[in-house]
Structure 1
Amino acid sequence: MAKHDPLLTVLKLTSEAEEQAALQLKSAQLALQKCLSQLEALRNYRLDYMKQMESHHGKNISASYYHQFHQFVRQVDEAITKQVTSVTEADNQREHRQQYWQEKQQKRKAVELLLEHKALKAREAELRLEQKMVDEFASQQFYRKKVR
């Protein structure tokens, strides 16, 4: 194989592209995890707030407090809905990045396979040349013995 084989440059470029895609995938996975954590925090916050209201069950509470409570729960529910959308978008982005990374990985593997085939063919040609030289040497030895 030639020392400056263009396929080696292609391999380097495809490997770098795969590494970049892997970093982007990792970033998308972290963003999804962050969104999921925020969603869980909102849901837990809502649950805690509802439990707090339950603790007031049977007690006299003012209408304005009750109204404020429901208004706040609605706001938390809206935040949860928005966060569910964010989770969906982050998951879509992660999925896209994963497919992109897999494409880059396949390209790198294809170039590696081409290089392996090229090296194998070069080795086979080298072995054929060696065998030809051995055969030629043997026939010369045989000819010399006959000539004497």
Structure 2
Amino acid sequence: MESSSPLVTLCSLAQKALDQATNHLGQVRKSQTQAQEQLSMLLNYQQEYREKLNSTMSDGIAANTWQNYQQFITTLEVAIDQHNKQLMQWNQRLDSALVLWQEKQQRLNAYQTLQQRASDQQKHLENKLDQKLNDEFAQRGAQRKKS
């Protein structure tokens, strides 16, 4: 099995690389989910704040209160825009991490396939040798009986 030793090493290294890619993918996915949740919270807060403004406006509103509402809504819209951009970046990172993970998985699968083929080939050779030895042993036994 010496011929498969490098394949065992390659499989081991590929497994480690896959494990690292899996961890990285998990971290990126977690961060992307958190960014999505933060954006959702901001959007919900913006909706609630607008509803509150509409309710307040129906009862009448002072000019300075109106300006405060407008400034806050503008600030909230800037924060939402920033979170949208951040979420887009996390989505791109997630896509990249997923591609990397898939590549590592394919590489490991390829090495495992090669390792399995080498193992099967070695077993086949061993079986042939065993069969040859058994045939020789049977032939010698038959010759002994004839003598």
State the TM-score, normalized to the length of structure 2: 0.93
Please, which runs of 5 or more residues in structure 2 have no aligned partner? none
Query: Could you tell me how far apart the structure 2 residues matched to 1:145 and 1:105 are?
Result: 59
Please, which runs of 5 or more residues in structure 1 have no aligned partner? none
Query: In structure 2, what is the equivalent of residue 119 of structure 1?
Result: 119
Query: In structure 1, what is the equivalent of residue 39 of structure 2?
Result: 39
RMSD: 1.5
1:94 corresponds to 2:128: no
What is the identity, as a one-letter code, of the residue corresponding to 1:135? D
Deviation digits for residues 21-41 of structure 1 (CA, Å, limit 9, x no counterpart)? 000000000010010011011
Query: In structure 1, what is the equivalent of residue 106 of structure 2?
Result: 106
Determine if contact 2:4/2:118 at 8 Å carries over to the other structure: no
Alpha-carbon spacing, 1:4–1:124, altered in 2? closer, same or farther (3 Å)? closer
Report deviation, 1:74: 1.3
Number of positions where the alignment pairs a residue of Structure 1 with one of Structure 2 = 147
Query: In structure 1, what is the equivalent of residue 137 of structure 2?
Result: 137
Query: Counterpart of 1:56 in 2: which secondary structure?
Result: helix
Report deviation, 1:51: 1.5
Between the two proteins, what is the percent identity of the paired residues?
Answer: 28
Deviation digits for residues 55-108 of structure 1 (CA, Å, limit 9, x no counterpart)? 213323111211221121111111111111111110110110011011111111
Query: Counterpart of 2:58 in 1: which secondary structure?
Result: coil
Query: In structure 2, what is the equivalent of residue 7 of structure 1?
Result: 7
Query: Counterpart of 1:40 in 2: which secondary structure?
Result: helix
Query: Could you tell me how far apart the structure 1 residues matched to 2:60 and 2:115 are?
Result: 80
Query: Could you tell me how far apart the structure 2 residues matched to 1:91 and 1:53 are?
Result: 33
Determine if contact 2:42/2:80 at 8 Å carries over to the other structure: yes
State the TM-score, normalized to the length of structure 1: 0.93
What is the identity, as a one-letter code, of the residue corresponding to 1:117? R
What is the identity, as a one-letter code, of the residue corresponding to 1:78? V
Report deviation, 1:3: 9.2
Report deviation, 1:145: 2.4
Determine if contact 2:35/2:87 at 8 Å carries over to the other structure: yes
Query: Counterpart of 1:5 in 2: which secondary structure?
Result: helix
Query: Could you tell me how far apart the structure 2 residues matched to 1:89 and 1:121 are?
Result: 48
Query: Could you tell me how far apart the structure 2 residues matched to 1:103 and 1:119 are?
Result: 24
What is the identity, as a one-letter code, of the residue corresponding to 1:65? T
What is the identity, as a one-letter code, of the residue corresponding to 2:88? T
Instruction: Choose 57-66 or 109-118, whichever is displaced more.
Output: 57-66
